[in-house]
Amino acid sequence: PAPRTVLLTGAAGGLGTLMRNLLPAFGYQLRLLDVRPIEGDPDAVTADLADKKALREAVRGVDAIIHLAGISLEAPFEKILAANIEGTYNLYEAAREEGVGRIVFASSNHAVGFTPRPQANDPLIPIDTPRRPDTFYGLSKSFGEDLAQLYWDKHGLETVSVRIGSCFPEPTSVRMLSIWMSPADGARLFHAALTAENVGHTVVYGSSANTRLWWDLSTARSLGYEPQDDSEPYAEKLIAEQGELDPDNMAHAYLGGHFVSDPPIWPY
Ligand code: NAI
Ligand code: 15L
């Protein structure tokens, strides 16, 4: 049967706020979790991913989990380790112990951020491209994908890992024209990831059907995802303001954009 009750971690964040507004229309009953309190929902769970007991209680009885909680940008390694690596492990352990059947994991383009972006006439980036994290943040998403594979192979816990491009109300950079996921398409993709049968561990790229697309959406489409949006209406204005991507600029040459070229955040 299709999942109905879904735990949404990271529900106070940008994507979490978009999704908690959009997903109920697909028939889901959401349980919200975040380390930050969520106004207006007395049932929301305020807990850190470090709190194993709270996670056990939060996952108990849900049909599936959408795991968005964590640090969403580059940060010192110790912080990434606690929130994204140990935190995601804690969530998977809670799900395994409570018998939750499926997790939709918010991976990121930054797990493969050091992949050169396709230039004119190059093939799209395939889903099985080698992982090339561009940051400790991207490394934590790479870890999450491997954790998901382990929990499928060893414990039969299914995951769809969504390598999200940029999910914001509108694209705000020329790079984002290629990897933008409209919030409405994001909700469609999460719905497909929750309802497709026999996903095992499936990795998909998460974006709209952008004219300037850089990656292959076929595994996402194989879940039943049919993107409806395209960033192209935003292109003329963004290119007029920012110029075309410059192949000699490192921050423009790779999928991960400026994450590739930003100086590391110290201390390690
Ligand atoms: P965000 O930073 O706005 O939201 C993350 C939420 O997680 C925050 O509300 C924060 O309080 C919560 N959180 C952080 N550490 C926590 C912990 N230890 N325990 C419990 N909650 C914790 O990020 P955004 O943009 O909403 O992203 C959501 C997820 O999607 C993140 O995992 C991010 O890496 C991933 N993602 C987002 C993309 C986007 O375009 N928005 C692109 C690629 C990946
Ligand atoms: C991400 O992984 C971040 O969470 C998000 O804030 C954006 O920076 C996005 O990638 C991006 O690459 O645009």
Note whether residue 266 is domain-resident: no
Determine, yes or no, domain membership for 268.
no
pLDDT tens for each residue of the chain, 268 residues long: 777 999 999 999 999 999 999 999 999 999 999 999 999 999 999 999 999 999 999 999 999 999 999 999 999 999 999 999 999 999 999 999 999 999 999 999 999 999 999 998 999 999 999 999 999 999 999 999 999 999 999 999 999 999 999 999 999 999 999 999 999 999 999 999 999 999 999 999 999 999 999 999 999 999 999 999 999 999 999 999 999 999 899 999 999 999 999 988 877 5
Q: Which residues are catalytic?
A: 137
- Residue 252, domain extent: 5-261
Q: How many domains does the chain have?
A: 1
- Cα distances from 67 to residues 2, 5, 26, 232, 248, in angstroms, run 18, 14, 18, 29, 36
**What is the DSSP annotation of 207-240?**
----TT--B--HHHHHTT------SGGGHHHHHH
In eight-state DSSP terms, residue 25 is G
Residue 60 counted as domain residue = yes
What ipTM was reported for this prediction? 0.99
Q: For residue 82, is it within any domain?
A: yes
> Is residue 70 domain-resident?
yes
What is 80-129 written as a DSSP string?
HIIIIIIHHHHHHHHHHHHT--EEEEEEEGGGGTTSBPP-TTPPPBPTTS
CATH of the domain at 114: 3.40.50.720
Q: Whose CA is nearest to atom 8 of ligand 1?
A: 13
Q: Which of 166, 155, 167, 266 is nearest to 201 (CA)?
A: 155
Decide if 73 is inside a domain. yes
Decide: 88 in ligand 2 pocket, CB within 6 A.
Answer: no
Among protein residues, the one with the nearest Cα to ligand 1's atom 1 is: 13
- Full-model pTM: 0.98
Ligand 1: which atom is nearest the Cα of residue 15?
Answer: 26
